[in-house]
Amino acid sequence: MRIGDLAARAGVSVRSVRYYEEQGLLTSVRSPRGQRLYGDAEVERVRFVQRLYAAGLSSRTIAELLPCVDSPSRENSDAAMERMLQERARLSQHIDDLIQTRDTLDRLMAVAAEHHALQAAGTSSATHSTC
Amino acid sequence: MRIGDLAARAGVSVRSVRYYEEQGLLTSVRSPRGQRLYGDAEVERVRFVQRLYAAGLSSRTIAELLPCVDSPSRENSDAAMERMLQERARLSQHIDDLIQTRDTLDRLMAVAAEHHALQAAGTSSATHSTC
DNA sequence: CTAGAAGCTGACATTGACGTCAGAGGCAAG
DNA sequence: CTTGCCTCTGACGTCAATGTCAGCTTCTAG
């Protein structure tokens, strides 16, 4: 499987695949003439990397995490486990923030809807709220 | 209240405050000599903007949303409401993604912990899993 | 064999939310 | 008046993940 196919299957650009390799997030076997070759497993690998990106991890952090996924050993598992715990905490914090923001948005929309209803009824009440 | 105080109270940099004004997310009154002056309300405003940023909204999107918050009127409330619904959906999707990623991380950590335990017991079982 | 699609490397461009610096002016305290 | 801190505008730097282009090579279909 060549780079174009991998990119298509994983739903990313060819450029991104090369970048992932450059960052040490992905390895490839080279054909005698220098073209990158991949197995089916790499498709999942790319998707996994994408998900970590989506979770806000930097390529450096991902690079620190992946060795544990790849070759579990005593030395790296401790450090990686700590790293994962850290990222898990960061992720949870981020999720909580987003939920809180969504709640804020919901309250804003509720007030807006109420205002809209009042206005539709021609009632100009004392609701001084925003929107 | 001058820009430095506002920035300190809201917990952002002076640069950011100027940037917000540049993007139309914040307004200021100018002193006779041209310095920006703010009221207490702007502190909350800046914090609100920050939360929207944290939620992944771009400054352009925030700029489209804020007029509704500021001056509720019939024309802008419809558009703003739609926009808010859109962003709410995006937010929910993002939250779901993050939770899914956290779950993946949890599974990874569980396997890692198991592996670690087995290794500690000197047992090299058939768990071919990652880490 | 040959045209065109796809790959390679290397480098510069882009986007967004700032950081940072320069040069000039404002403002309160001693 | 001076010292030192704050503010102003304007412009360039940064960082990270990609886009994009150039110039060249390799593979594939006819």
| Per-residue pLDDT tens listing for chain B (131 residues) | 999 999 999 999 999 999 999 999 999 999 999 999 999 999 999 999 998 888 888 899 899 888 777 766 656 667 778 888 888 888 898 898 889 888 888 887 887 777 666 555 554 444 333 34
The residue that minimises its CA distance to C1' of D5 is B4
- Residues A51-59, mean pLDDT to the nearest whole number: 86
Residues of B contacting chain A (CB within 8 angstroms): 48, 51-52, 54-56, 68-70, 72, 74, 77, 80-81, 84-85, 87-88, 91-92, 94-95, 97-102, 104-106, 108-109, 112-113, 115-116, 119, 130-131
Continuous H helices in B1-131: 3-10, 14-22, 41-54, 59-70, 74-120
Does residue B16 sit in the same domain as residue B60?
yes
Last residue of a domain, one of B30, B45, B71: B71
Task: Answer whether A72 sits within 8 Å of B112, measured CB to CB.
Answer: yes
B76 falls within a domain: no
Boundary-marking domain end, from B71, B106, B121: B71
Tell me, yes or no, whether A4 and A35 share the same domain.
Answer: yes
- The pLDDT confidence band at residue A118, using thresholds 50, 70 and 90, is low
Mean residue pLDDT of chain A comes to 82
Task: Say whether both B55 and B9 belong to one domain.
Answer: yes
Please tell me whether residues A50 and A4 are part of one structural domain.
yes
Strand partners, B30: B36
CATH number at residue A44: 1.10.1660.10
Q: Which long-range contacts (CB under 8 A, 24 or more apart) does B85-91 make?
A: B85/A109, B87/A105, B87/B55, B87/B57, B87/B61, B88/A102, B88/A105, B88/A106, B88/A109, B90/B56, B91/A98, B91/A101, B91/A102, B91/A105, B91/B55, B91/B56
Q: Is B20 within a domain? A: yes
Q: How far is A81 from chain B (nearest CA, A)?
A: 7
Query: At A26, phi and psi to the nearest 5?
Result: -155, 140
In terms of Cβ atoms closer than 10 Å to its own Cβ (0-12, 13-18, 19+), residue A77 is buried
* CB-nearest partner of A68 from B87, B92, B112: B112
**Does B22 lie in the same domain as B65?**
yes
Is the C-beta of residue A49 closer than 7 Å to nucleic acid chain C?
no
User: Is residue A61 in some structural domain?
Assistant: no
Residue whose C-alpha is closest to residue B99's, from A55, A2, A14: A55
Output the pLDDT for position B120.
57
Give A-chain residues touching B85 at CB under 8 angstroms.
109
Q: Which residues contact A104 (CB under 8 A, 6 or more apart)?
A: B48, B51
One domain, residues A77 and A35: no
Does residue A115 sit within a domain? yes
Q: Is residue A130 part of a domain?
A: yes
Q: Do A51 and B106 touch (CB under 8 A)?
A: no
Spatial distance between the Cα atoms of A52 and A59, rounded to a whole number of angstroms: 9
* In-domain check, residue A121: yes
For residue B122, the chain A residue with the least C-alpha distance is A74
Give B-chain residues touching A87 at CB under 8 angstroms: 105
Considering the domain boundaries, does residue B44 fall inside one?
A: yes
Within a domain: A64:
no
Domains in chain A, number: 2
- The domain of A16 spans 1-56
What is the per-residue pLDDT across B102-130, written as a single tens digit (0 to 9) for each? Answer: 888 888 788 777 766 655 555 444 433 33
pLDDT surpasses 90 at A1: yes
- Asked if A53 CB < 7 A from strand D, the reply is yes
